[in-house]
Amino acid sequence: MLVGALPAAPVTTRTAPTFNGGVYAIAHRGDTVYVGGAFTSATSGGKTYKRMRLAAFDARSGDLLDWAPPADGTVRALATTTDSVYAAGDFHEVDGEDRDSLARINPSTGAVASFAHEITGTAYALGTAGNRLYLGGSFTAVDDERRGNLAAFDLTTGRLDTRWRPLTDDTVHSLAVSGSRVYLGGGFHIVNGVKGTLRLAAVSSAGGAVDPVFRPRVPAEVRAIAVDASGVQVATAGVGGRALSYATTGALRWQRVFDGDAAAIASAGGITYVGGHFDAICRTERNGAKGGCVDGSTPRLKLAALTSTGTLTGWAPQANGVIGVRVLTVHKGTVEAGGDFTTIDGRDRRRFAAFR
């Protein structure tokens, strides 16, 4: 079935720093935006400053802040609480302190706090709720305790949570906490040995048991998850990426197909924003062996927006690059994109852009 598009709407960008390397993670605390990635410098107000894979700026003015704890490896995920910024990734040291893939940082001073754990593997995703920090990735142990790509930490004590022990048979790329559920997305085939948990599942936020209701069917590896009042939205890779929306029962609500991977997704106000490696969105769900659209397409260069029924909107900023967009957030009416692009609509927006 041919799916129409809403009329084009003007796209305006807000002032924000640019970066000399990829931006992989974005988090917020009040009016402060924290970013992490593979960059080693940030440019703001015409000046370039050293920023070793972590940086922060004022969301209102766009001014780069002094917050600059250096990490010695790529930062892949960020999460915030009222008193902390948590970072996860490939690093082994932050601000001169030994930290194996996971660190807790003061949100004002950048000082590294006393929260140190050993991760046997790679960390990709973080989420917080209540007094817990949830971690997903490709790892086999935390602090020499066996864990299957998932772990949780008690933020009151700072210790590994011994009660939350779900496990997957392969990588967890993304997680999202909503109410009593933690949604998991990745390349795994099964969670806790329970059938029907291929690539996307929900587990209890308290004990980690697989939710018996949420049973979606996902056609390819999940790269990102966004949860809102309408349901669960995911971005997938595969031969032609997809944006899919599921009800909380796991029933498919709608899906849209792109001519390249969808790597990032965010939802707010009934609109789902998608980012990735694509150059077009297919008019139908049919695509060819190499991901090309069979029944025609509409140009969307690395960024697109869909209504609550999956209809393409007119929001169409044009990002460049091969990899394109890696992460998306929506905060206080602003859409923020990070990745490996260097321009938006032909203007300098190296690796980060904020849209009104």
- Convert the pLDDT of each residue in 142-182 to its tens digit: 999 999 999 999 999 999 999 999 999 999 999 999 999 99
Mean pLDDT within 316-329: 97
Confidence band, pLDDT 50/70/90 cuts, at residue 356: confident
Of 226, 207, 239, 235, nearest to 325 (Cα)? 235
Contacts of 27 (CB under 8 A, 6+ apart): 33, 34, 78, 79, 80, 85, 329
Asked if residue 340 lies in contact with residue 37, where contact means CB atoms within 8 angstroms, the answer is no
The rounded distance, in Å, linking the Cα atoms of 42 and 118 is 30
| Whether pLDDT at 279 is above 60 | yes
pLDDT at res. 340: 98
| Whether pLDDT at 261 is above 50 | yes
What 8-state DSSP symbol labels residue 113?
P
| Whether pLDDT at 3 is above 50 | no
Chain segment 38-54, per-residue pLDDT in tens:
999 999 999 999 999 99
Chain segment 78-134, per-residue pLDDT in tens:
999 999 999 999 999 999 999 999 999 999 999 999 999 999 999 999 999 989 999
Mean pLDDT within 340-351: 97
Tokens at residue 303, please? Answer: 């960024």
**Assigned domain for 331 exists:** yes
Confidence band, pLDDT 50/70/90 cuts, at residue 240: confident
Please tell me which residue, 336 or 2, carries the higher pLDDT value.
336
Chain segment 167-176, per-residue pLDDT in tens:
999 999 999 9
Count: domains in the chain: 1
- In angstroms, the Cα distances linking 171 to 99, 124, 139, 153, 167 are 22, 9, 8, 19, 10
Of 116, 182, 178, nearest to 149 (Cα)? 182
pLDDT at res. 77: 98
pLDDT at res. 352: 98
Provide the mean pLDDT of the chain: 95
Confidence band, pLDDT 50/70/90 cuts, at residue 11: low
Asked if residue 161 lies in contact with residue 134, where contact means CB atoms within 8 angstroms, the answer is no
pLDDT at res. 124: 98
The rounded distance, in Å, linking the Cα atoms of 212 and 203 is 9
CA atoms lying within 13 Å on the CB side of residue 90: 8
Confidence band, pLDDT 50/70/90 cuts, at residue 57: very high
Asked if residue 187 lies in contact with residue 171, where contact means CB atoms within 8 angstroms, the answer is yes
Beta-sheet pairing, 119-129 with 132-142 = antiparallel
Confidence band, pLDDT 50/70/90 cuts, at residue 290: confident
| Whether pLDDT at 271 is above 90 | yes
**Assigned domain for 7 exists:** no
| Whether pLDDT at 10 is above 90 | no
Convert 139-153 to b/e letters by CB count within 10 Å (16 or more is b). Answer: beebeeeebbbbbbb
pLDDT at res. 6: 58
Query: Which one-letter amino acid corresponds to residue 54?
Result: L
**Assigned domain for 191 exists:** no
Of 108, 104, 74, nearest to 87 (Cα)? 104
**Assigned domain for 56 exists:** no
**Assigned domain for 254 exists:** yes
**Assigned domain for 37 exists:** no
Residue 333: give the domain boundaries: 230-355
Asked if residue 312 lies in contact with residue 299, where contact means CB atoms within 8 angstroms, the answer is no
What angle is formed at CA 15 by the lines to CA 14 and CA 20, rounded to 5 degrees?
A: 120
pLDDT at res. 1: 34
Confidence band, pLDDT 50/70/90 cuts, at residue 238: confident
Mean pLDDT within 332-340: 96
**Assigned domain for 206 exists:** no
Of 224, 231, 235, nearest to 257 (Cα)? 235
| Whether pLDDT at 246 is above 60 | yes
The rounded distance, in Å, linking the Cα atoms of 259 and 278 is 5
| Whether pLDDT at 224 is above 50 | yes
